[in-house]
């Protein structure tokens, strides 16, 4: 028997590759060998973004995702179907190949629980299996409750809401509107159904994994962890000691913004970023630009390539000139370092879970702009439970106007209580990864199990 060697299998998307890579770099630090599986398509994106093959102690391999070269990987339904059909066979072959060619065969599969790729294959091959659940644990609690929601007549067999009153899974958890249940936020019914069916398989899949790790902490999600006893928090992953730098960005990271932030006064700057998937319609993009201009503060704005729906440019006329002395725009920021920078005052965020955890771990107050999936849940945590942020209100045409943005920035930043609560939440959250903290203990036990 060789050294412990984990095969890490993320769902092939940016926001899944990041936490799985973070966990990989933590495990490497503890002497565990890691082979990280990307799809060929994503491997190419990562290599293009880096301008070279990723290197370091994590060993990268890539396998096909089962989609044609021209097919749209942003179509979540098609991607999920292709991966589930095609990738298990590829993973089986990969594990066999490693067995024949590597001194250390795969001793454990670490799957991304959102897709569960690798769980069945590992079970078949008698390899021990663990999983990471990258989103909020509350989302998992909701999904595992689907059979009960159907029994109670809250949703039908397709996941369509039959009742519209708010749901609360446990006393400590935010209330949720059934129309915001994660599968309902996907526009077309066929995709909704694919995702809903996938989620209904989680109860069984979870039985097969020995460890179910979450990028979260007990203090943030007391109720959710009580509802899913198997789930163990090990977060916040972004704040744990790692070996090596993250090598899985899909866009080239522009770190010049850190130097720019050094020039800004402490707690002066608005950071604006909407993660890796969200797109804005041109009117909305324009209003956001106006709002940032009206706020009269420095701002660092991540304008990802293709972030504007159907257009390359939707800036208001003369905008760039008028704000030139107080703006920095980048295509992709080193977000975890940005949020840790003393010049940041607040975070205009789409409330993806990674961004939520990163903002919380750095004590940054939020202005919430959720779009779809679990982002509404995370917004409720931020605004209603932890009280470290504010919501934007849309007007009658479903647009968040520039004036609304300006007024919420002022409201958030003129009330010291938001910052005070954010700092208190940060401290409590980081206590989990200190010696003896619950995340630290869970991670330690997990590592012992991997090595045993
Ligand atoms: N991110 C980044 N640079 C950017 C924007 C985002 O590194 O300019 C990272 C961010 O730190 C987070 C991830 O991308 O780890 C986005 O994940 P999240 O769950 O917040 O959003 P999603 O991409 O799922 O919408």
pLDDT tens for 337-362 read 999 999 999 999 999 999 999 999 99
* CA 411 vs CA 4, 186, 365: distances in Å: 52, 32, 12
Shared-domain flag, residues 234 and 323: no
Determine if the pTM surpasses 0.95.
yes
Report the domain count for the chain: 2
Q: Across residues 368-384, what is the average pLDDT?
A: 95
Q: Looking at residue 13, what is its pLDDT?
A: 94
Distance 383 CA to ligand 1 centre (A): 20
Share of the chain above pLDDT 70, in %: 100
Centroid of chain to Cα 302: 16
- Nearest alpha-carbon partner for 83 in 211, 216, 194: 194
Q: What is the mean pLDDT of residues 3-22?
A: 96
**pLDDT tier at 1, thresholds 50, 70, 90:** low
pLDDT at 430: 98
pLDDT tens-digit series, residues 90-117: 999 999 999 999 889 999 999 999 999 9
- 298, 311, 369 from 272: Cα distances, Å: 11, 20, 10
Q: Same domain for 226 and 290?
A: no
Given a cut of 70, whether residue 125 has pLDDT beyond it is yes
Q: How far is the CA of 15 from the centre of ligand 1 (A)?
A: 6
Q: If you average pLDDT over residues 226-249, what whole number do you get?
A: 94
The atom of ligand 1 lying closest to the CA of 19 is 15
> Does 446 map to a domain?
no
Same domain, 265 and 396: yes
**Domain identity same for 266 and 363:** yes
Q: Measured in angstroms, how far is the CA atom of residue 276 from the centroid of ligand 1? A: 6
Is 291 among the domain residues? yes
- CB of residue 11 inside a 6 A radius of ligand 1: no
- Render pLDDT for 156-165 as a digit per residue (tens, 0 to 9): 999 999 998 9
Mutate to test the pocket of ligand 1, among 248, 335, 373, 381 (most ligand atoms within 8 A of CB): 335
Indicate whether 206 and 266 sit together in one domain: no
Kindly give the distance from the C-alpha atom of residue 333 to the centroid of ligand 1, in angstroms, as a whole number.
9
Position 447 in a domain: no
177 belongs to a structural domain: yes
Residue 238 CA to ligand 1 centre (angstroms)? 12
Q: Which CATH number does the domain housing residue 141 bear?
A: 3.40.50.2000
What tens digit of pLDDT does each residue of 418-448 get?
Answer: 999 999 999 999 999 999 999 999 999 999 9
Q: Please tell me whether residues 412 and 383 are part of one structural domain.
A: yes
240 shares its domain with 364: no
Residues 21 and 168 grouped into a single domain: yes
Q: Is 364 domain-assigned?
A: yes
Tell me the residue range of the domain where 357 lies: 254-429
15 within ligand 1 shell (Cβ under 6 A) = yes
Same domain, 147 and 259: no
Q: Does the residue 442 lie in any domain?
A: no
Q: Is the CB of 287 under 6 A from ligand 1?
A: no
Is the CB–ligand 1 distance for residue 362 below 6 Å?
no
3-state helix vs strand vs coil in the chain, percent to 5: 45, 15, 40
Q: Ligand 1 centre and the CA of 174: distance in Å?
A: 23
Q: Is 302 in the pocket of ligand 1 (CB under 6 A)?
A: yes
Q: Name which of 14, 19, 21, 18 is nearest 6 in CA terms.
A: 21
Q: Are residues 215 and 103 in the same domain?
A: yes
Ligand 1 atom at minimum distance from 333 CA: 8
Residue 452 lies inside a defined structural domain of this protein: no
Q: Is the CB of 352 under 6 A from ligand 1?
A: yes
- The pLDDT assigned to 246 comes to 84
CA 51 to ligand 1 centroid distance, Å: 20
């Amino acid at each position: 028997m060789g050294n412990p060697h984990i095969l890490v299998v993320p769902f092939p998307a940016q926001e899944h590759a990041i936490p799985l890579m973070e966990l990989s770099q933590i495990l490497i630090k503890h002497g565990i060998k890691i082979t990280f599986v990307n799809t060929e398509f994503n491997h190419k994106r990562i290599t293009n973004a880096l301008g070279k093959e990723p290197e370091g102690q994590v060993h990268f391999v890539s396998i096909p995702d089962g989609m044609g070269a021209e097919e749209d990987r942003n179509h979540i339904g098609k991607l999920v179907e292709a991966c589930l059909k095609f990738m298990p066979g590829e993973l089986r072959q990969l594990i066999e190949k490693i067995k024949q060619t590597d001194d250390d065969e795969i001793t454990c599969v670490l799957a991304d629980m959102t897709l569960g790729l690798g769980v069945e294959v590992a079970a078949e091959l008698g390899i021990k299996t663990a999983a990471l659940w990258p989103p909020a644990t509350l989302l998992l609690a909701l999904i595992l409750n689907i059979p009960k929601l159907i029994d109670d007549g809250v949703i039908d067999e397709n996941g369509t809401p039959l009742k519209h009153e708010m749901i609360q899974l446990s006393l400590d958890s935010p209330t949720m509107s059934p129309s915001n249940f994660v599968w309902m936020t996907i526009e077309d019914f066929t995709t909704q159904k694919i995702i809903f069916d996938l989620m209904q398989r989680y109860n069984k899949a979870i039985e097969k994994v020995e460890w179910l790790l979450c990028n979260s902490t007990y203090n943030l999600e007391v109720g959710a962890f009580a509802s899913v006893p198997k789930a163990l928090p090990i977060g916040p992953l972004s704040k744990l000691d790692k070996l090596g730098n993250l090598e899985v960005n899909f866009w080239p990271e522009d770190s010049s913004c850190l130097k720019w932030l050094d020039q800004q006064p402490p707690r002066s700057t608005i950071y604006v970023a909407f993660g890796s998937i969200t797109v804005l319609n041109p009117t909305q993009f324009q209003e956001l630009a106006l709002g940032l201009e009206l706020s009269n503060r420095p701002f660092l704005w991540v304008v990802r390539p293709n972030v504007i729906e159907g257009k390359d440019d939707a800036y208001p006329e003369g905008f760039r000139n008028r704000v030139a002395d107080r703006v920095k725009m980048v295509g992709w920021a080193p977000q975890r370092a940005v949020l840790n920078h003393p010049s940041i005052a607040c975070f205009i965020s789409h409330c993806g879970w990674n961004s939520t955890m990163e903002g919380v771990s750095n004590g940054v107050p939020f202005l919430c702009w959720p779009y779809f999936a679990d982002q509404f849940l995370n917004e409720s945590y931020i605004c209603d439970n932890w009280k470290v942020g504010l919501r934007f209100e849309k007007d009658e045409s479903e647009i968040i106007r520039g004036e609304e943005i300006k007024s919420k920035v002022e409201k958030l930043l003129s009330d010291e209580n938001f910052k005070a609560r954010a700092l208190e939440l940060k401290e409590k959250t980081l206590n989990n990864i200190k010696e003896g903290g619950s995340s630290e203990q869970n991670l330690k036990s997990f590592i012992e199990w991997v090595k045993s």
